Amino acid sequence: MKVFVVGASGVIGTRLVPQLLERGHEVVGTSRSPEKAERLRALGAEGITLDLLDPRAVRRAVLESEPDAIVHQATALSDARFTRKLDRSLAQTNRLRTEGLDALLAAAREVGVSRFVAQSFASMRYAREGGPVKTEEDPLDPTPLAGMAETAAAMNYLDDTVTDAGGIALRYGLFYGAHNDGLVEPVRKRQFPIVGSGGGYATWLHLDDAAAATVLALDHDGPAIYHIADDEPAPVREWLPVLADALGAKPPRHFPVWLARLFAGEIAVMLGTEARGVSNAKAKRELGWTPRYPSWRQGFAEVYARASVQEGREVGAPASVSSESPVSS
């Protein structure tokens, strides 16, 4: 198939493009920057420049490429500052998930693509009641906290719009696997505490596994929503000390809820104490996907040990340091 990947230059995209090519697909990959488009060419894709928020340019690029399939992996999180007003931090990403998606889907309809797969997100979305691990059928949070309502609405819009169009929305877990993973610095600096009992769940996902599942999703008919996440959803009190250890950091601090609320706000408290994890059973069953990194327990150690070797840092890496390909985006 000819696959048009928007966001091909990002942390997922740069892993996805080689995997698509390996699978025998032809790839058109986009970036807003000519330099990154050039790098996509070096990977073996046709690299083009495109701003997803320019609907005319989107229409032109898709009509010119005439792809069989489209993958939407565009987000704008690298420069985002995560504050207690999540909606402000994610405003641009929310536009890419709504306006950007609309432009892409309109063009997709015009050329009659047979497959449409888009990046969605699994964490922070489910109703904070009942068991700790949710399936795709479980209800989403009907009352998102102040400061994240627009973000929740944008993710819901993406899921609904993609599936209404017959496509597949992949609700990814929390990414790790790159040197600039979001939690690396805060955890190294002990700025990410265990809040209260640390019972809020996260479900992690190695970036290579995210790319592999995306390739498989292109072989399947929609509409569908899948959780793409590892096998071990876990509460903060379990994964955070393991992550700190993998990074050679001191153990995380413990904050009472009132203190975390004061310093970090209600969203941080919710994530630390109430958030739900997700089950990957449906993706494994229907996509035939098996994560190469089934648990963050091994994944963190492997990824950050490798990164530390590259950086020449002493981070308490386990002895079984692999000398495989570098971890980078």
Ligand X SMILES: NC(=O)c1ccc[n+]([C@@H]2O[C@H](COP(=O)([O-])OP(=O)(O)OC[C@H]3O[C@@H](n4cnc5c(N)ncnc54)[C@H](OP(=O)(O)O)[C@@H]3O)[C@@H](O)[C@H]2O)c1
Closest CB 66 distance from ligand X, rounded Å: 19
- Smallest CA-to-CA distance from 87 within 32, 128, 124 is with 124
| Residue 182 binds ligand X (CB under 6 A) | yes
* Token duo for residue 179: 């040197």
| Residue 32 binds ligand X (CB under 6 A) | yes
Alpha helices in the chain (DSSP H): 13-22, 34-43, 55-65, 86-89, 91-95, 101-111, 149-164, 184-188, 207-217, 236-246, 257-264, 266-273, 281-287, 296-311
Window contacting ligand X (CB under 6 A); options: 61-69, 75-83, 243-251, 258-266: 75-83
| Residue 77 binds ligand X (CB under 6 A) | yes
| Residue 75 binds ligand X (CB under 6 A) | yes
- CA dist 214 and 21 (Å) reads 13
| Residue 226 binds ligand X (CB under 6 A) | no
Contact 202, 240 (CB under 8 A): no
CA distances from 15 to 70, 118, 244 (A): 16, 15, 26
- Residue of 172, 226, 293, 300 interacting with ligand X (CB under 6 A): 172
- CA dist 91 and 313 (Å) reads 35
| Residue 31 binds ligand X (CB under 6 A) | yes
User: Cα 258 to the chain's mean position, in Å?
Assistant: 30
| Residue 229 binds ligand X (CB under 6 A) | no
Task: Name which of 30 and 163 has its Cβ closer to ligand X.
Answer: 30
Closest CB 47 distance from ligand X, rounded Å: 10
Per-residue binding string, ligand X, 113-142, x by CB under 6 A, is --------x---------------------
Closest CB 262 distance from ligand X, rounded Å: 26
Closest CB 319 distance from ligand X, rounded Å: 28
Which residue's entry shows tokens 């999180």? 77
- Residue of 53, 140, 165, 259 interacting with ligand X (CB under 6 A): 53
Window contacting ligand X (CB under 6 A); options: 45-53, 216-224, 241-249, 308-316: 45-53
Which residue's entry shows tokens 């955890």? 187
Window contacting ligand X (CB under 6 A); options: 5-13, 147-155, 285-293, 301-309: 5-13
Closest CB 43 distance from ligand X, rounded Å: 13
Contact 304, 251 (CB under 8 A): no
| Residue 181 binds ligand X (CB under 6 A) | yes
Contact 175, 11 (CB under 8 A): yes
| Residue 76 binds ligand X (CB under 6 A) | yes
| Residue 7 binds ligand X (CB under 6 A) | yes
How many residues lie near ligand X (CB under 6 A)? Answer: 31
Q: In b/e form, how buried is each residue of 146-183, taking b as 16+ CB within 10 angstroms?
A: ebbebbbebbbebbebbbebebbbbbbbbbbbbbebbb
- Residue of 180, 197, 310, 322 interacting with ligand X (CB under 6 A): 180
| Residue 249 binds ligand X (CB under 6 A) | no
| DSSP type of residue 31 | E
Q: Which residues bind ligand X (CB under 6 A)?
A: 6-11, 13, 30-33, 36, 50-53, 74-78, 96, 121, 172, 174-175, 178, 180-182, 329
